[in-house]
Structure 1
Amino acid sequence: MNSLTELASPIAVDVYRGRRERVLAAMRAQGGGIAVVATAPEVLRNRDADYPFRHDSYFYYLTGFTEPEATLVLNASAQDGEPASILFCREKNAERETWEGFRFGPEAARDAFGFDAAFAIDSLDEELPRLIADRPALYYALGASAEVDAQVRGWLAAVRAQGRSGVRAPEEARNLLPLLDEMRLVKDAHEIAIMRRAGSISAEAHRRAMRACRPGMHEYEIEAELLYTFRRRGAQAPAYGSIVAAGANACVLHYPAGNAIARDGDLILIDAACELDGYASDITRTFPASGLFTPPQRELYDIVLAAQSAAIEATRAGVSFDAPHQAAVKVLSQGLLDTGILDKAKFGTIDDVIGERAFARFYMHRTGHWLGMDVHDAGDYRNADGPRDAQGAREWRTLAAGNALTIEPGLYVRAAEDVPERYWNIGIRIEDDAIVTPNGCELLTREVPVDADEIEALMRESNQD
């Protein structure tokens, strides 16, 4: 068994039990009801081979349970003596375990993960109509899965078929995800500890890739150094498809590691990180294949690093989510003017560049996103209620201590007649993971160098080995 399927520690059990209790309390405050959270389905890759199974993040957040074919039911209308948290999972099966590995089975899962009750998954369609009958509301991920929607319709139909006996179906179907999203936005100590470890593993992988890189290597060879480190250090998988982009490929934001060869004079942009125990990390570094930045590369790199530093300085509890982005945009816009990439005769001031969004040609993404169980984690970026701006957009939400986000400015300069040739095909992004604190933020991924001189020193040491 790996770390995700071993018997849960008492501390972890308390974490998941506490989360379930928070959901139940919120449901009781709204009058009670039943919540249903299913894990992800297994997916066929081709013929009789499945894709590697990965649990649903919402399900795992409330259970810590990673086996396929599992569903959590929370009964906020339970009476004294009735179970409030119920797991449905696969039964023990010696024959299937010979082929597929260990299964907890309902009884062991109930005890190991702190549920009030557990039943075989095969009984779900029989038990759910009974559980939702005469309840005021049914909570689930509305519209997220056609299969789950169809299953819910079946349960409701089974209850309504008993209408002549006085049994009533829930009067409301409510979306459970906004409640869980708000919970997931603020990381607890258990989550932050895992994310620190994930960041450390990913940083080691980037250091290894920098040391291994030589002109003449294929992008996929560099990617192999990353994947090796992830698994060797105990991470279960990459958190997302690794981006390893040589030369002009770095100007393609979601470029997958391919067959291109890193050439002398190229920059290598790596956006890659691991998933550890259900939590993602997310790091980007850009470095020279030869170990030395050219002057134009160094000029743009230092602008992006200064933009990241400004965004980091702006990241703290109590400020708008948009504040780090605006701080980065100001530095990048000034840099585009100073280098002549943007014509000062046309865009005379930084206010002109920002007002006309001229920077967006070279910086077309935002400076960060939520991070957690998903690399682009759950949660709204704008307030659900309140005033709107002149364009009708809702206000950005305010950062709070415990929020986790990336800080990742970049510049991507494609070859073009109106751009100085020395900057052609230079793509740079610098990304770190941060936990918001009351007075700033904690960076989780700085075990890999970010300063250009430190990157060159690390690669120089490797070349001397």
Structure 2
Amino acid sequence: MMQSEFRQRREQFMAKIGTGTAILRSAPTAVMHNDVEYNFRQDSNFFYLTGFNEADAIAVLAPWHETHKFVLFVQPKDRDKETWSGYRIGVDAAKEQYGADEAYPISELDEKLTQYVEKADRIFYHLGRDRTFNQTVLDLWQRLMTTYEKKGTGPIAIEDPALLLHPLRQTKSASELALMRKAVAIAAEAHHLALEMRKPGCYEYEIQAEMERLFRLRGGVGAAYPSIVASGANACILHYTENNRQMQDGELLLVDAGCSYDYYNSDITRTYPVGNQFTAEQKILYELVLKAQLNAIEQVQPNNAWNLFHDASVRTIVEGLMSLGLLQGDIEEIIKEEKYKPFFMHGTGHWLGLDVHDVGIRQIGETWQTFQPGQVVTVEPGIYIRPDFQPFEGQPQVPDRWRGIGIRIEDDVLITETGHDVLTAAVPKTVEAMER
């Protein structure tokens, strides 16, 4: 992504913070066990505004400052440490490559930070998991507050920048959408591969391995999240990740896997019959979930309230389960009292972008937010009937022939000026495609 886009984002954000100063902390280096580290993944807000992809860095945005409106504190070049843990950008290149007005070694933070905060009217900082740095910011604020009555200037409050930053992140630029389409295209190819591989006797991890191999082979960072490859009753576990079971003929295989490409993500779920043909019960429930998903997608329109697509999928699923005798009573009461939740216990979708469960407010008080062009949402209803299924009180018991079936169908949908665009449309989902 071009540095001009990151600069534009900073300008938009600084226009919102006015005479305040924003302080953003990079993601930390996380330890997997002992001295073995996880692969580094930058904090999404930090990356969104800077494009800088190293740990132990601080970004400061001070739009009121005469010369240094964007400042980076970074790890300096160090030949010995770089030999062990990889090359660093360093202080000089942080200015040249990332457009900072000034850059300092991170060791000079305590000495230099005050000058970028002392004349601000407030500090925009997210009190995150780094308690040590949280205390650094709080101490700085308290120290400046003690001189406020003498100088008449200084930050009088600390606010979370997310309230201003996240609405900017929700609406995707053309560059962001290009990256998301690439992440979708790679994941779509991988799901086609899963469709070809789902044979009796195959292990879940074989499909996972081949899909994630393709993610990297096509230039992706890797899996956008831990891949779910769930056969048989494992498909009734929403976040199943063991992926170690051997698939059997006559079962279903639920694959929920997406690719991360240059930090942007796809998120796709398909449910396949393992032996190429659905059983009668599997087919009935699959067609019901597909109908619910298509009805929900129709509600993903500009200016439609967020809750409408979930309401559409819930009503479709409830109507279908009632017609099968798996739910009984008054439909409005069932929906209001959520008696369907033993079958469908999660929401219909979430925002998608830099994070798989991306930022964005859905509801303020009783008012639902509306879809706007440039936003991307997943649409993923499902039905899950565990082998030990327990119905809502007063609802009928479920016959054995329905038990052990888990189905979810998920697409990534872009809201456009005139409607929507199903970004993942290249991944088949009709009954005919699943049974080929």
State the TM bucket, normalised to the shorter chain.
Answer: over 0.9
Matched letter for residue 90 of structure 2:
G
For the pair 1:360 / 2:345, whether they are aligned, the reply is no
CA contact (8 A) 1:38 1:71 kept: yes
Matched letter for residue 408 of structure 1:
E
Residues 376-412 of structure 1, C-alpha deviations (whole Å, 9 max, x = no match): 11111113xxxxxxxxx52111111111110001001
Of 292, 303, 308, the residue aligned with 2:288 is 303
Secondary structure of the corresponding residue to residue 244 of structure 1: strand
Deviation at residue 143 of structure 1 after TM alignment: 5.1
Deviation at residue 438 of structure 1 after TM alignment: 2.4
Match of 2:180 in 1: 195
Match of 1:456 in 2: 435
Q: Residues 44-443 of structure 1: matches in 2 within 5 Å?
A: 44-79=31-66, 82-142=67-127, 145-156=130-141, 159=144, 169-343=154-328, 347=329, 349-383=330-364, 393-415=365-387, 416=389, 418-443=397-422
Measured in 2, the distance between the counterparts of 1:379 and 1:351 equals: 29
Deviation at residue 160 of structure 1 after TM alignment: 6.2
Structure 1: stretches of 5+ with no match in the other structure: 1-8, 384-392, 458-465
Secondary structure of the corresponding residue to residue 45 of structure 1: strand
Deviation at residue 351 of structure 1 after TM alignment: 2.8
Match of 2:17 in 1: 27
- Tell me the matched-pair count: 429
| CA RMSD after TM alignment | 2.0
TM-score w.r.t. length of structure 1: 0.88
Secondary structure of the corresponding residue to residue 262 of structure 1: coil
Moved more, 284-293 or 86-95: 86-95
TM-score w.r.t. length of structure 2: 0.93
Deviation at residue 258 of structure 1 after TM alignment: 2.9
CA contact (8 A) 2:145 2:155 kept: no
Moved more, 407-416 or 266-275: 407-416
Measured in 2, the distance between the counterparts of 1:396 and 1:56 equals: 28
Secondary structure of the corresponding residue to residue 29 of structure 2: coil
Residues 224-251 of structure 1, C-alpha deviations (whole Å, 9 max, x = no match): 1221111111111211111111111111
Cα distance, 1:161–1:321 mapped onto 2, change above 3 Å: closer
Measured in 2, the distance between the counterparts of 1:162 and 1:320 equals: 47
Measured in 1, the distance between the counterparts of 2:264 and 2:301 equals: 22
Match of 2:392 in 1: none
Measured in 1, the distance between the counterparts of 2:152 and 2:33 equals: 45
Measured in 1, the distance between the counterparts of 2:128 and 2:81 equals: 33
Sequence identity, in percent?
Answer: 40
For the pair 1:16 / 2:23, whether they are aligned, the reply is no
Secondary structure of the corresponding residue to residue 401 of structure 1: coil
CA contact (8 A) 1:239 1:375 kept: yes
Measured in 1, the distance between the counterparts of 2:128 and 2:77 equals: 32
Match of 1:463 in 2: none
Measured in 1, the distance between the counterparts of 2:288 and 2:82 equals: 55
Secondary structure of the corresponding residue to residue 158 of structure 2: strand
Matched letter for residue 396 of structure 1:
W
Measured in 2, the distance between the counterparts of 1:185 and 1:372 equals: 8
Deviation at residue 301 of structure 1 after TM alignment: 0.4
Match of 1:386 in 2: none
Cα distance, 1:256–1:71 mapped onto 2, change above 3 Å: same
Runs of 4+ in 1 over 4 A off after TM superposition: 157-169
CA contact (8 A) 1:340 1:420 kept: no
